[in-house]
Amino acid sequence: MSGNLQTAVVTGAGSGVGRAVALALARAGWRVAILGRRPEPLAETAALGAGSAGELFVVPCDIGDAAAVTRMAGEVLGRFGAVAVLVNAAGTNAPRRALHELAPEVYHRIMDANLNGPYYCVQAFLPGMRARGAGTIVNVVSDAAKQASAKAGPAYAISKFGLAGLTQAINAEERANGIRACAIFPGDIDTPLLDQRPSPPPAEARAKMLRSEDVAACALLAIQLPERALVEEILIRPR
């Protein structure tokens, strides 16, 4: 691995927004540790990024497992020394998401992926960012954190409202230490997560939605701004 590249960590990099962010960063010359529960989709992401100016490094990790996140961070920091950027893009939902049918184990699985996992990752990389006096954290939230809806379901809304709160807390406590956080609130995106809806939308509806690359462009905006500048929130929806 080249020693002159800055390192970013991207969760949920096996598909959707996480994959798009990882590829965009690699094209921009970053070394990217790509995280996800399953190694096969991560390998596909790495193959798609072959030949980029940067590099992609596969790190399978279930971010909902605090001990696994600690091991992952040790591996990444041990190999690269420092992480400049963390992008929390992993997320999930469930078909049986309505309040009257939401099983406790499903609720906890959604919370682990959407809120607890990002918290664990922030805690894992925050000390190094504080020591360096710099760091950017991007949390891919959802417009479900602006207004709860039956379409999103309560577990998803709760987790995303919490992720927005985590972003605000980072800025409130850590901006004096050179660390900034941006929350991106996308509307409907054409990703595999749509297949988890009780009634997945048809192709004609998906064609009108955002693409993962649109959200990745927002993430790069927040990351590539001069360190003196902070974009706290980005709300992006289809036209």
Contact by Cβ (8 Å): 94, 194: no
Q: Is 120 annotated as catalytic?
A: no
Angstrom distance (rounded) from CA 162 to CA 219: 19
DSSP 102-136: --HHHHHHHHIIIIIHHHHHHHHHHHHHHHHT-EE
Q: For residue 138, what are its two tokens?
A: 């991007």
Q: For residue 201, what are its two tokens?
A: 């939308």
DSSP 182-223: EEEEE--B-SGGGGGSSSPPPHHHHTTSB-HHHHHHHHHHHH
Active site residues: 156
